[in-house]
A and B are shown apart, each in its own frame.
Chain A
């Protein structure tokens, strides 16, 4: 898998576009650490770590390998700091919260989905992120989070069902009773 653009020659380009990887790592770091101030530093550390340990890459999906490094590194950092799972940063919540101008109904759905995502276990959040934003396959996610593909699939299905129930429930609540 090469870059989608013109010639690039950046590090990692043999394994896909560096920028895609960096975006994925940033999101993963952000969703694990929940600290926007850490994102750049940790991303840099992860990319360096990955580059230095390229010899240890033994085939398979490169981005899954990278995601696994990113997860391990983030959890190491969290463990060192001994911090709990922090709530989503205030500034981000503030941007998600619907304002008075949000007259479009489904913006509320987005907000509710965001809240629902926050209530998911961290691993499920990561899985959803990798699956629904970065289009990882189940096998790739399994490799990244060190689970079996079936378990990943089950978690994805459950998380989706929760979200669907949430939206369904909202629609039911909003539907006026007839008769």
Chain B
């Protein structure tokens, strides 16, 4: 039998599966080598072409919201989509509060990074709007460039304020041990949030608890409101009755119990703000890191998208008592472990699929799936998302990676924007779709201008954009 041509090898790599060739390839070292090279090149190509994932990773929710706003559609309720990549259905479990919401998608980088103020509400304030529901509210589409400029401008202004000795209580309440610019950036990010119009008191920006739950746990999580003022009514928190502002409970997805890891999607943390129960009120002008919270209470649960702030009582109380404890989150890239599971459309586990996690053109980890469709445990370090860290390379932010799954006979699945929290355990499940032949029919050239069309030629049913 003739050896595979380079083209045929490429087509096989891309999913075409000529059955009669398969046995030949298995036995022929020449074709096997050719196939191996094509495989390597394909992976390198995907890595190189998706190297700008940090730059091109956008916010689908914001885009959808803008579309709906523009087109007059009502917000979707409870919509959730499992699927981020071509031909892939993916849920990332345990990917953490860092930017993965209930639908496994990354969130607006700074939106709602500000803490929730759950004024005086009891910590178990009840169900919170599900993330998917929250996310559909129209918001301003993210504009990375504009944001960067604004961030820089405000940073300069704030530095001037500090130099001039001007007190800025709003910021001071947030600053703690952090640099001014990043605190302001968070404040601005909060302004991007859907609830941007909500009143601000004592520097704490109101966000729905559900929003807070979707937030990047790496963001500033100042808890205290300096004045411990009466809180703001939030949809989830109930009537304002108390005193303190709690740390956002959004960092807790890292602490998701193992039983939920396999559930598919990350809830983005608990949404709910562990509200201090009054003990810390008024005096808890403290900054409690999200990590601290996450060790005390767990994120709310989500089965159907509803987030309960069930465990926040402890965290809230802890927050209230925490006084002036300041814990810095580690900065830099995210160290992640996990397994990737690959399945066919009918749910059958697929063995032998090549799984590659890459970011910025680098391969972070690569493995093949075993008989159960799962890779061995992968441990890798994902670089921080450049769009989230922005001009501050030391800023906290989730890691990003591109997950590529290849298997002969199936369409290669490429999943973008896997938001990865530091220390998270991920368990994405990728569903591969069967390959279609790249060029199923004979290609008949179109007519030469002025000549009669070739027999069999029909005008392409395309595209009058």
Neighbouring B residues of A138 by C-beta, 8 Å: 438-439, 443
Give 1 or 0 for each of A29-72: 1 = CB within 8 Å of chain B CB: 11100001111110110011001010010111100110011001
Neighbouring B residues of A134 by C-beta, 8 Å: 86, 414
Q: Is B81's CB under 8 angstroms from A95's CB?
A: no
Q: Does chain B have a CB within 8 A of A86?
A: no
Q: Does chain A have a CB within 8 A of B76?
A: yes
Neighbouring B residues of A65 by C-beta, 8 Å: 462-463, 465
Q: Is A39's CB under 8 angstroms from B6's CB?
A: no
Q: Is A30's CB under 8 angstroms from B71's CB?
A: no
Tell me whether A27 and B411 are in contact in the complex, defined as CB-CB below 8 angstroms, given that A5-B81, A65-B462, A134-B86 are known contacts: no
User: When the two chains form the complex, which single residue of B6, B81, B88, B360 contacts A6, counting CB atoms closer than 8 Å?
Assistant: B81
Bound form: Cα–Cα A142–B460 in Å = 10
Bound form: Cα–Cα A96–B386 in Å = 13
Bound form: Cα–Cα A30–B465 in Å = 20
Q: Is B439's CB under 8 angstroms from A153's CB?
A: yes
Q: How large, as a class, is the contact surface on chain B?
A: 35 or more
Q: Is B76's CB under 8 angstroms from A10's CB?
A: yes
Neighbouring B residues of A78 by C-beta, 8 Å: none
Q: Is B363's CB under 8 angstroms from A110's CB?
A: yes
Which of A6, A43, A110 has the most chain B CB within a 10 Å cutoff?
A110
Q: Is A4's CB under 8 angstroms from B14's CB?
A: no
Q: Is A106's CB under 8 angstroms from B363's CB?
A: yes
Residue of B nearest to A130 (CB): B49
Q: Does chain B have a CB within 8 A of A169?
A: no
Neighbouring B residues of A26 by C-beta, 8 Å: 56-58
- The smallest C-beta distance from A151 to any residue of chain B, in angstroms, reads 10
The segment from B21-29, B140-148, B194-202 that touches chain A is: B140-148
Q: Is B55's CB under 8 angstroms from A39's CB?
A: yes
Tell me whether A47 and B63 are in contact in the complex, defined as CB-CB below 8 angstroms, given that A23-B416, A135-B15, A167-B40 are known contacts: yes
Q: Is B52's CB under 8 angstroms from A36's CB?
A: yes
Neighbouring A residues of B446 by C-beta, 8 Å: 148
Tell me whether A113 and B48 are in contact in the complex, defined as CB-CB below 8 angstroms, given that A138-B443, A164-B41 are known contacts: yes
Q: Is B81's CB under 8 angstroms from A19's CB?
A: yes
Give 1 or 0 for each of B83-99: 1 = CB within 8 Å of chain A CB: 11111110000000000
User: When the two chains form the complex, which single residue of B52, B68, B142, B445 contacts A148, counting CB atoms closer than 8 Å?
Assistant: B445
Q: Does chain A have a CB within 8 A of B162?
A: no
Neighbouring A residues of B70 by C-beta, 8 Å: 48, 51
Q: Is A92's CB under 8 angstroms from B63's CB?
A: no
Neighbouring A residues of B7 by C-beta, 8 Å: 157
Residue of B nearest to A168 (CB): B37
Q: Does chain A have a CB within 8 A of B10?
A: yes
- The smallest C-beta distance from B443 to any residue of chain A, in angstroms, reads 5
Residue of A nearest to B45 (CB): A132
Q: Is B145's CB under 8 angstroms from A133's CB?
A: no
Residue of A nearest to B144 (CB): A37
- The smallest C-beta distance from B145 to any residue of chain A, in angstroms, reads 3
Tell me whether A95 and B386 are in contact in the complex, defined as CB-CB below 8 angstroms, given that A22-B58, A22-B60 are known contacts: yes
Q: How large, as a class, is the contact surface on chain A?
A: 35 or more
Neighbouring A residues of B362 by C-beta, 8 Å: 95-96, 98, 102, 107, 110
Tell me whether A4 and B83 are in contact in the complex, defined as CB-CB below 8 angstroms, given that A109-B40, A138-B443 are known contacts: yes
Q: Does chain A have a CB within 8 A of B50?
A: yes
Give 1 or 0 for each of A77-111: 1 = CB within 8 Å of chain B CB: 00000000000110110011010001010110111
Bound form: Cα–Cα A147–B143 in Å = 33
Bound form: Cα–Cα A128–B49 in Å = 9
User: When the two chains form the complex, which single residue of A6, A150, A167 contacts B80, counting CB atoms closer than 8 Å?
Assistant: A6
Neighbouring B residues of A10 by C-beta, 8 Å: 64, 76, 79, 81
Q: Is B56's CB under 8 angstroms from A36's CB?
A: yes
Q: Is A95's CB under 8 angstroms from B67's CB?
A: no
- The smallest C-beta distance from B252 to any residue of chain A, in angstroms, reads 25
Q: Is A27's CB under 8 angstroms from B49's CB?
A: yes
Q: Does chain A have a CB within 8 A of B464?
A: yes
Neighbouring A residues of B86 by C-beta, 8 Å: 20, 23-24, 133-135
Neighbouring A residues of B80 by C-beta, 8 Å: 5-6, 8
Residue of A nearest to B71 (CB): A51
Give 1 or 0 for each of B156-173: 1 = CB within 8 Å of chain A CB: 000000000000000000
Which of A36, A47, A107 has the most chain B CB within a 10 Å cutoff?
A36
- The smallest C-beta distance from A127 to any residue of chain B, in angstroms, reads 11
Residue of B nearest to A69 (CB): B465
Bound form: Cα–Cα A148–B89 in Å = 32
Neighbouring A residues of B67 by C-beta, 8 Å: 11, 44, 47-48, 51
Bound form: Cα–Cα A111–B89 in Å = 29
Q: Is B83's CB under 8 angstroms from A129's CB?
A: no
A-B contact pairs, 17 of them (CB 8 A): A11-B64, A23-B56, A26-B56, A27-B50, A37-B148, A40-B58, A44-B141, A56-B464, A60-B463, A89-B52, A95-B383, A96-B51, A134-B414, A137-B439, A150-B443, A160-B41, A168-B37
Closest 4 CB pairs of A and B: A37-B145, A95-B360, A36-B55, A5-B82
Seed contacts A36-B54, A37-B148, A95-B359; 14 additional CB < 8 Å A-B pairs: A4-B82, A6-B81, A27-B50, A40-B58, A40-B62, A40-B141, A114-B47, A114-B361, A133-B414, A137-B440, A143-B460, A149-B439, A150-B445, A163-B45
Chain A positions near chain B (C-beta within 8 angstroms): 3-11, 17-20, 22-24, 26-27, 29-31, 36-41, 43-44, 47-48, 51, 53, 56, 58-61, 64-65, 68-69, 72, 88-89, 91-92, 95-96, 98, 102, 104, 106-107, 109-111, 113-114, 117, 128-129, 131-135, 137-139, 142-144, 148-150, 153, 157, 160-161, 163-164, 167-168
